[in-house]
Chains A and B, each alone.
Chain A
Amino acid sequence: MATKIEEKDETPIIISNLHKGFGNQKVLNGINLRVARGETTAVLGRSGGGKSVLLKLIIRLQTPDTGSIRIAGQEITDLDEEHLNEVRKKVGFLFQQAALYDSLTVEENVAFPLSRHTKMSQTDRKQRVREHLANVGMDRDLRKMPSELSGGMQKRVGLARALVLEPEIVLFDEPTAGLDPITAAEIGDLIVELKQKRKITAIVVTHDVQGAKVFSDRMVFLHEGNVLVEGSFDDLQKNKDQFVAEFLGHGSR
């Protein structure tokens, strides 16, 4: 079991030499990535470039072919189910399509992780759920079913659910994709607020260059299964690489 204290490294996310393929197709080709505590990293790249796969590997919704992933000092690639779940509790995950449980109401959706992992009283739990829903402006729709909500509302509820266990690390899979510019900006503001208030460490997979400029401290470009360049928005703008320039050019038009 890989549970004992190895070297003490406080960096919340360290990915080294990570490979992942599906059949003959190589998706990730030896990726290295470190995310420091309290830092928000935006991961950009083309569709189908393995960005979402990277996020899923981080909480082992998929298993990597080779390589190492350390989350909060814990190597997770060969961890057993029980210890893996301890790590997963420290990580919030916002899915691309929100992935709300469609047999549960908004309130029950957000309460689900709490009722599984905490021994809170009913009233405390209700209180906490309401707080988190209020943070995303969804506290008036407690009794609604997910199917009655618009895409943007679903995403906000998904965000509340991802944050309700108050994780140290949050992974966002395209938080602003498919939303109107106003809602997208609101979600971007929520991420910034989260960073300032709660000092979370975050990885945001996105296509939205303008949004990423606002909420991220650092940008990482994935290209052909590897990190092409990384740095702040200004660093990247100075980059001479044609792909990066094209991506930023199209994105900020």
Chain B
Amino acid sequence: MLGKATARTDIESKYWIIRPFWPDRQYWAMIYLALFVLGTAIAETLGPGRLLEGVSAAKSLVISGFEWFGDLGMFCARLVRAALAPPYELGELVRQCDSIGSKSLPLVALAGGATGVVLSLQIRDSLTRFGAKSLLPAVIVFSIIKESGPIITGLVLSGRVGAGIGAELGSMKVTEQIDAMEASAVDPYRFLVATRVLACILMLPLLTLAADFCGIFMGWVANTLAEPISLQLFLENGFKNVLFSDFIPPTFKTAVFGFIIGIVACFQGMRTRGGTEGVGRSATSSVVLSSLFVILADVVLVRLILVVYG
């Protein structure tokens, strides 16, 4: 009776809420790795090569790291204040949804499709060895809707949108356009930042659907080229055991990715200084930091989803 931990006893135990963040022994290695990657990335972003300059540099690095998070917190607070009060900038929101959502669609569809093809090729080979080839459609569908689709969309968007927003807001900042907007009594946090962050949150799940669709469809195409199977049969086999709880949480967790991408890119853009060189730095650091945080958030979210729905 004791010792046999299931998801159910997890939830009943009084620590269930921190349970996913309090990893078992086998997760420690992963956590150390994540912290190492995080540390290196922040060090590189804040000042390349500084790590080697000894303890004082390391100390100032830790301080600037904390400062970064502190500034980010203040940025979020100001953003929430600006976003909640009317007037709402619906026109600008629609424009951003178009430029973030529709304009990313081809890239996301292509990335999703390619993933489907690759999965199909690789898994066919592996499953054949285990004599479980009939599971191929199910494996493709599960891996795409549960993980590949969402994370591919998240990473592609942190590249495309992260760099785009970082450079756009950064160049507006260094050419005083942000100041000009404030001077004409328009809050740039409301007009520029809130609309972009919200557009990212809204568009990511939709783009994930597109990636899922293309991935599964191209998975079928690759499959049927190797060994003809009708689309109907493929889908029937693939979706036979899929529940809504397999599909909904992974799709909507990308809203969190969207939030991260939007916030980090806008934040890096708005704190740009130092002319055109600064704009380049902002674009780079937006991409680096947003992809990093998307990956880390994914680890946490997957664990959380498994606890809640597992």
Chain A contacts to B: CB under 8 angstroms: 56, 59, 61, 81, 85-86, 88-89, 91, 93, 95-97, 99-102, 112-113, 116-117, 161, 165
Most chain A CB atoms below 10 A, which of B175, B176, B185: B185
Interface size on B, residues (CB 8 A): 14
Q: Is the interface of B mostly helix, strand, loop or mixed?
A: helix
Q: Which residue from chain B places its CB closest to the CB of A116 in the assembled complex?
A: B186
Count A/B pairs, Cβ under 8 Å: 55
Interface string of B161-195 (1 = CB under 8 A from A): 00000000001100111011111111100000000
Query: When the two chains form the complex, which single residue of A91, A99, A165 contacts B180, counting CB atoms closer than 8 Å?
Result: A99
List of A residues within 8 angstroms of B176 by Cβ? 95-97, 99
List of A residues within 8 angstroms of B187 by Cβ? 81, 85
Instruction: Establish whether residues A97 and B185, one from each chain, have CB atoms under 8 Å apart when the complex forms.
Output: no
Query: When the two chains form the complex, which single residue of B177, B179, B181, B186 contacts A102, counting CB atoms closer than 8 Å?
Result: B177
Beyond the given A89-B185, A161-B184, please list 17 additional residue pairs across the A-B interface where CB-CB is below 8 A.
Answer: A59-B182, A59-B183, A61-B183, A81-B187, A85-B187, A88-B182, A88-B183, A95-B183, A96-B176, A99-B175, A99-B177, A102-B171, A102-B172, A113-B184, A113-B185, A116-B186, A117-B185
Instruction: Establish whether residues B179 and A112, one from each chain, have CB atoms under 8 Å apart when the complex forms.
Output: no
What CA separation (Å) do A113 and B184 show in the bound complex?
6
**What's the minimum C-beta distance from B76 to chain A, rounded to whole angstroms?**
17
Chain B contacts to A: CB under 8 angstroms: 171-172, 175-177, 179-187
List of B residues within 8 angstroms of A59 by Cβ? 182-183
Q: Which residue from chain A places its CB closest to the CB of B81 in the assembled complex?
A: A81
**What's the minimum C-beta distance from A59 to chain B, rounded to whole angstroms?**
6
Instruction: Establish whether residues B175 and A97, one from each chain, have CB atoms under 8 Å apart when the complex forms.
Output: yes
List of A residues within 8 angstroms of B180 by Cβ? 93, 95, 99-101, 161
Instruction: Establish whether residues A85 and B185, one from each chain, have CB atoms under 8 Å apart when the complex forms.
Output: yes
Instruction: Establish whether residues B182 and A112, one from each chain, have CB atoms under 8 Å apart when the complex forms.
Output: no
Q: Which residue from chain B places its CB closest to the CB of A91 in the assembled complex?
A: B183
**What's the minimum C-beta distance from B171 to chain A, rounded to whole angstroms?**
8
List of A residues within 8 angstroms of B182 by Cβ? 59, 61, 88
Q: Which residue from chain B places its CB closest to the CB of A62 in the assembled complex?
A: B179
The 10 sampled A-B contact pairs (Cβ below 8 Å) are A56-B179, A59-B183, A61-B183, A81-B187, A88-B183, A89-B184, A100-B180, A101-B177, A116-B185, A161-B180
Q: Which residue from chain B places its CB closest to the CB of A96 in the assembled complex?
A: B176
What CA separation (Å) do A88 and B188 show in the bound complex?
14
**What's the minimum C-beta distance from A147 to chain B, rounded to whole angstroms?**
11
What CA separation (Å) do A116 and B187 show in the bound complex?
11
What CA separation (Å) do A165 and B186 show in the bound complex?
13
**What's the minimum C-beta distance from A60 to chain B, rounded to whole angstroms?**
9
What CA separation (Å) do A85 and B182 show in the bound complex?
8
What CA separation (Å) do A89 and B186 show in the bound complex?
9
**What's the minimum C-beta distance from A167 to chain B, rounded to whole angstroms?**
10
List of B residues within 8 angstroms of A113 by Cβ? 184-186
List of A residues within 8 angstroms of B171 by Cβ? 102
Instruction: Establish whether residues B177 and A61, one from each chain, have CB atoms under 8 Å apart when the complex forms.
Output: no
